[in-house]
Structure 1
Amino acid sequence: MVERHTGLSIFCHVVLLIGAAVVCMPLYFAFVAGSLTVGEVQQVPFPLVPGGHFVENTVLAWNEGQFSRLYVNSLIVTIGIVVGKLTVSLIAGFAVTYFRFPFRMTAFWLIFISLMLPVEVRIIPTYEAVADAGGPLRSLFEAIGLTGFIADRTGYQLDAALQWNMINSYGGLILPLIASASATFLFRQFFLTVPDELCEAAKLDGAGPLKFFWDVLLPLSRANIAALSIILFLYGWNQYLWPLLFTTEKAMATAMIGLKDLIPVADAQPAWNIAMAASFFVMAPPALVILLMQRWFTKGLVDSSK
């Protein structure tokens, strides 16, 4: 039993208040900058009191950055990444935990080793693969002579039909990011904690693997899925490098790219107030997700540690 001491409680609250102040200070300065005019932002020393132009700057940033379209793109890409990662990770974790097939552990360790290969490391081959998604099939058909055979017999050019370019598409933004070694590892570790008696009881009741997965494992994994969904939502929403490299059309950009475009560059008007105002509605969806699902996030972390 932990005893309560007044001095210790005061010290803990002071430390928490100092930590909260350090974390919130950049947000406060961003709010101050977003509420000032261009001339006021450049004042030395920097004003510490907010101005009265925050709403005006926010509306200007929204219209100037065309965030109506960018917000939709970000939501579609983020939800696609979350659903894709959860689906692939759940199925992969279920397979390596409950199925006994050759090289099962080899497959698991290959998945685990891929943790050391983030998107930034494999960005060039990933771009080439998505920009020419039909390339492997063309190489296979050429190796077995199927391409020439079809062209000679029917006149149909198989090479032309397999020119699949996924640049500036939702599929190209989502599919390369749905594989998650960390999520697969977390679900596998959770499945290992499920009592074997549940699996045996399901077999006695005549339940197949899919029914056991759907009726037993998924309900038990709700807290873990909710906690992981929050992390994956933050990961998907904050993606910057892949959308920056993969989108060449403004209509397919994400909110992060729109925020980057508002940052002043050399020989341009230093409109930092517009960029700072935009940063608040760009960070709003992740903040709302964390606030609304805070209980599930905590529950998922606590249940995972048992």
Structure 2
Amino acid sequence: MADAGGMVEKRGAGLWLTHFGLIVGILFIFFPIWLALVASTVTQPEIARPPMPLVPGDQFFENYRKALVSGVNAPVARMLFNSGVMAVGIAVGKIAISLLSAFAIVYFRFPGRRLFFWLIFLTLMLPVEVRIVPTYQVAANFGMLNSYSGLIFPLIASATATFLFRQFFLTVPDELAEAARVDGARPMRFFWDILLPMSRTNIAALFVILFIYGWNQYLWPLLITTDPDMNTIVMGIKQMFPSGDDIADWPVIMATSILAMLPPILVVISMQKLFIRGLVDSEK
């Protein structure tokens, strides 16, 4: 009994130590975000005059209204919309193409099937930064500059998502496909009615990851857009920083940074359960 009590005490001490470490880590990560939030609610002189305040000020609504309506170079509301369209378009496009390509590779027998899969997989070695010049040339030739199609279409192919869906489809029992074939279901009916519902958690997990990937894009939007009305929020934050002797409007910049973090956070929170199940659930 004494040994059991000692084990419980050790386990309790370890549990408290683990939680303490987690709390310290969270506070360490959250502190810069808190500083940005505070900076977005005070005036410019309050930021410039040390020490910087650690308590939110009374300029919250004014600074955020200024950021959303006028911004520094362009209204933040417009940039948030552009980033949202780009992120959703990239996530939905990648998932749709990957689902169909994985479905074709797994369930259709055609010459060179395995070769095509490995050719798709090899594109992981060619990220957009490597092929950015020819990709830009193709997009320009198709008239995609300063357009949502130019922001989205060159980035919607995903070898990683195709590989993940292929691996999942390989775990689906062959009896399901045979039963659907016996019932007279066409291939696409089998895809829509059986495979797609079974892939729901995988789709949710990938959507969260790909949405954040699309939201955080910087280099490609910087090249494909020259119109300020097509700026994304990540581009906008970078362009807000002053050059030369200009003075930065730090409250508006910090308000823009906080607004830029909100959509990915909302996506993660709203899809948290499906996201976790899609990553850890092995029983389909």
TM, length-normalised to structure 2: 0.90
Residue from 189, 197, 201 that aligns with 2:179? 201
Aligned pair 1:75/2:84, yes or no?
yes
Partner of 1:86: 95
SS in 1 for 2:222: helix
2:223 to 230, 237, 245: 245
Superposed, 1:82-231 pairs within 5 Å as 82-133=91-142, 165-231=143-209
Q: Distance in 1 between matches of 2:28 and 2:103?
A: 42
Report the Cα distance in structure 1 between the residues aligned to 2:283 and 2:231, rounded to whole angstroms: 38
Shift of the 304–255 alpha-carbon distance from structure 1 to 2, 3 Å rule, reads farther
| One-letter amino acid matched to 2:68 | W
Report the CA distance between 1:97 and its aligned residue: 1.2
Size of the aligned set, in residue pairs, is: 273
Aligned positions of 1:19-30 closer than 5 A: 19-30=25-36
Please state if 1:32 is matched with 2:38.
yes
Kept in 2, the 8 Å contact 1:131–1:167? The answer is yes
List alignment gaps of at least 5 residues for structure 2. 1-6
Structure 2 equivalent of residue 51 of structure 1? 57
CA separation in 2, counterparts of 1:198 and 1:280? 48
Query: In 2, Cα distance between the equivalents of 1:220 and 1:240?
Result: 34
Letter of the 1:88 partner, please give it.
I
Matched-pair contact (CA < 8 Å) for 1:264–1:272: no
- How far did residue 305 of structure 1 move? 8.0
Q: Deviations over 1:253-285 (max 9, x none)?
A: 222222222223321112222101111112111
CA distance in 2, matches of 1:71, 1:281: 8
Q: Equivalent residues in 2 for 1:234-273 (5 A)?
A: 234-273=212-251
Task: Work out whether 1:284 is the aligned partner of 2:262.
Answer: yes
Cα displacement (A) at 1:43 = 2.7
CA drift of 1:304 comes to: 5.0
Distance in 2, matches of 1:25 and 1:125, equals 42
Q: 1:257 to 1:305 in 2, by over 3 A?
A: farther
Runs of 4 or more above 4 Å deviation? none
- Distance across 2 between alignment mates of 1:114 and 1:223: 25
User: For each residue in 1:141-181, what CA deviation from the matched residue of structure 2 results, as whole angstroms up to 9, or x when unmatched?
Assistant: xxxxxxxxxxxxxxxxxxxxxxxx21111111111011011
SS in structure 1 of the partner of residue 56 of structure 2: coil
TM-score of the two chains, using structure 1 as the length reference: 0.84
The answer for the alignment partner of 2:4 in structure 1 is: none
Counterpart position of 2:279: 301
Query: Once the 2 structures are TM-superposed, how far is the Cα of residue 114 of structure 1 from its aligned partner?
Result: 0.9
Q: SS in structure 1 opposite 2:281?
A: helix
Equivalent residue letter for 2:64: T
- Paired AA for residue 54 in structure 2: L
Distance of 1:219 and 1:305 partners within structure 2: 14
Unaligned runs of 5+ in 1: 134-164
